[in-house]
Amino acid sequence: QVRLVESGGDSVQAGGSLRLVCVASGYGSDSPYMGWFRQAPGKEREAVATMQTRLNITYYAASVKGRFTISQDNAERTLYLQMNNVAPEDTAMYYCAAADSLAIRVLNPNDYGHWGPGTQVTVSS
């Protein structure tokens, strides 16, 4: 069973930066796809950034492209999300997720079967 644990969420002012960290462990933790998703109160969960981990191919939501960067440390089974120039609309619970298959819709949260408990990011104006 894959276990994912996020950290790094915090309260930050608009224009600031944060780095989120997700550590994967357990059987099958070398998932072919991993990613970051977020959910704000009253809204559906949405993709932020995902990665095909074997080839380091990255995908971004339009709203974060150019501001956020997803990366990984394969040896440490750790996924990162560097968030720069954050804005109040980035306020949400951020989740790390992993998928077992290569045949997925890379930005669709429904295709990811493993989730961490989340880490809160709050951006004030």
- pLDDT tens, position by position, 57-99: 999 999 999 999 999 998 889 999 999 999 999 999 999 999 9
pLDDT of residue 29: 67
Alpha carbon 84 to chain centroid, angstroms: 14
- pLDDT tens, position by position, 1-57: 899 999 999 999 999 999 999 999 987 667 899 999 999 999 999 999 999 999 999
Burial of 35 (0-12, 13-18, 19+ CB in 10 A): buried
| C-beta separation of 89 from 48 below 8 A | no
Tokens 């809160």 label which residue? 120
